[in-house]
């Protein structure tokens, strides 16, 4: 049996020496120390030896087992250290090299404009509210005093989901939601995406962004609206900006007005950018809240009055930054965005 153990030790140590991976070492361990391993089988045969030889052979077998186990552990450590050295060599990082130049991102002009608008009106005491893009016909048209035959209700102008729901055509439904939820007095602004079949020129898009404002209180008049918009325009574009109010007609306000501002390129002198008029494109629409709208929201128009205004964030950005095509803001062209 001693010769068997000597031969087993010699074979095991040679196999361990030639092993290249941890997996090979595990196979060697199982070959000799597993339930059916060679050393295990020899140990099972100790019971057949004469009684006086058993302790001697048992002690020698344990010595062989311990020696083989030591070499297994040592070889495993050597293999792992060698693999670590190779990995460190392959993943070597030269910290003296100049790092790759990182490109810094830019705020999108639409997001910048939206945040500027909100900041201006929050400082004026308005609260920012938000609402869904999928809206009811009742909130989008009916409660806003829109006639049944109004062109904007036509399917050629509006994206209907079914007879009672649609993609909102303006952010004005938030006025209805706010008045129904909070009642009066009220001072809110809201912004978000709106949708229309509108793609006629470089200043229109079937998806664009609006910013809406509403004030309802006792004694609110057109004069309050004009003063509020004057402050807004000066804050947004500068003190040298001139404002023009033109009469208009909106179903939800009476009286109504459209607001223009002087051209940022020529400052009112007249140039190709403003078609020699001295005025930029229409900036926003506004007016005194129609009594029917207040009634539809459960507010007594004999006690309360209000004003509302709505503007395209895209158009504000175009005026502020001199952008001549609204589509540029939706194309994610880095050459365009990097200018901001």
Q: Supply the pLDDT for residue 201.
A: 57
Nearest to 208 by CA among 314, 114, 290, 320: 314
Q: Supply the pLDDT for residue 192.
A: 92
Rounded CA gap, 328 and 216, in Å?
Answer: 37
Report residue 10: phi and psi, to 5°.
-65, -45
| pLDDT higher at 96 or 251 | 251
Q: Supply the pLDDT for residue 47.
A: 66
List C-alpha distances in Å: 159 to 130, 150, 167, 195. Answer: 21, 15, 6, 7
Q: What is the pTM of this model?
A: 0.65
Rounded CA gap, 188 and 173, in Å?
Answer: 12
Q: What is the pLDDT of residues 106-150, one digit of tens each?
A: 788 899 999 999 999 999 999 999 999 999 999 999 999 998 988
Q: What is the mean pLDDT of residues 259-279?
A: 81
Helices 2-18 and 22-33 meet at what angle, rounded to 10?
170
Rounded CA gap, 218 and 227, in Å?
Answer: 17
Q: What is the pLDDT of residues 183-202, one digit of tens each?
A: 999 999 999 999 988 765 55
Rounded CA gap, 200 and 222, in Å?
Answer: 32
pLDDT over 90 at 324, yes or no: no
3-state secondary structure string, 79-141? HHHHHHHHHHHHCCCCCCCCCCCCCCCCCCHHHHHHHHHHHHHHHCCCEEECCCCEEEHHHHH
Q: Supply the pLDDT for residue 140.
A: 94
Q: What is the pLDDT of residues 222-249, one digit of tens each?
A: 999 999 999 999 898 888 888 899 999 9
Q: Supply the pLDDT for residue 334.
A: 83
Percent of the chain past pLDDT 90, that is, above it, reads: 42
Instruction: At 126, list the tokens.
Output: 């308005």
Rounded CA gap, 178 and 181, in Å?
Answer: 5
Decide: 64 and 9 in contact? Cβ < 8 Å. yes
User: Which sequence spans correspond to the domains of the chain?
Assistant: 1-91, 109-338
Annotated binding site for Mg(2+): 254
Annotated binding site: 254
Percent of the chain past pLDDT 70, that is, above it, reads: 96
How would you class 32 by CB atoms within 10 Å of its CB: exposed for 0-12, middle for 13-18, buried for 19 or more? buried
Q: Supply the pLDDT for residue 200.
A: 55
What is the fold of 109-338? BirA Bifunctional Protein; domain 2 (3.30.930)
Q: What is the mean pLDDT of residues 280-290?
A: 88
Work out the pLDDT band at 5, boundaries 50, 70, 90.
confident
| pLDDT higher at 180 or 260 | 180
How many C-beta neighbours within 10 Å does residue 196 have? Answer: 18
Q: How far apart are the first and last CA of the chain?
A: 87
């Amino acid at each position: 049996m001693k010769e068997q153990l000597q031969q087993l030790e010699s074979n095991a140590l040679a196999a361990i020496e030639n092993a290249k991976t941890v997996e090979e070492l595990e196979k060697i361990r199982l070959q000799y120390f597993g339930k059916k391993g060679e050393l295990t089988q020899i140990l099972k045969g100790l019971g057949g030896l004469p009684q006086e030889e058993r302790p001697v052979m048992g002690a020698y077998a344990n010595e062989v087992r311990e020696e083989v186990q030591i070499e297994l552990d040592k070889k495993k450590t050597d293999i792992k250290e060698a693999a670590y050295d190779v990995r460190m060599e392959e993943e070597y990082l030269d910290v003296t090299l100049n790092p790759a130049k990182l490109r810094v991102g830019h705020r999108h002009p639409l997001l910048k404009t939206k945040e500027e608008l909100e900041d201006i009106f929050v400082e004026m005491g308005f609260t920012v509210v938000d609402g869904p893009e999928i809206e009811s016909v009742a909130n989008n048209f009916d409660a806003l005093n829109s006639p049944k035959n109004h062109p904007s209700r036509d399917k050629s102008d509006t994206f209907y989901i079914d007879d009672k729901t649609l993609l909102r055509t303006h952010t004005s439904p938030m006025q209805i939601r706010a008045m129904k939820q909070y009642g009066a007095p009220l001072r809110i602004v809201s912004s978000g995406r709106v949708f229309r079949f509108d793609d006629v020129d470089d200043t229109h898009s079937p998806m664009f962004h609006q910013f809406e404002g509403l004030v309802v209180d006792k004694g609110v008049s057109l004069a309050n609206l004009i003063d509020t918009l004057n402050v807004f325009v000066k804050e947004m574009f500068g003190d040298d900006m001139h404002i023009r109010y033109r009469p208009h007609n909106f179903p939800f306000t009476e009286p109504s007005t459209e607001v223009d501002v002087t051209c940022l390129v020529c400052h009112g002198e007249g140039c190709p950018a403003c078609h020699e008029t001295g005025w930029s494109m229409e900036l926003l629409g506004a007016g005194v809240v129609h009594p029917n709208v207040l009634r539809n929201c459960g507010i007594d128009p004999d006690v309360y009055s209000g004003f509302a205004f709505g503007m395209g964030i895209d158009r504000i950005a175009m005026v502020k930054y001199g952008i001549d095509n609204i589509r540029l803001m939706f194309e994610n062209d880095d050459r365009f965005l990097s200018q901001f």
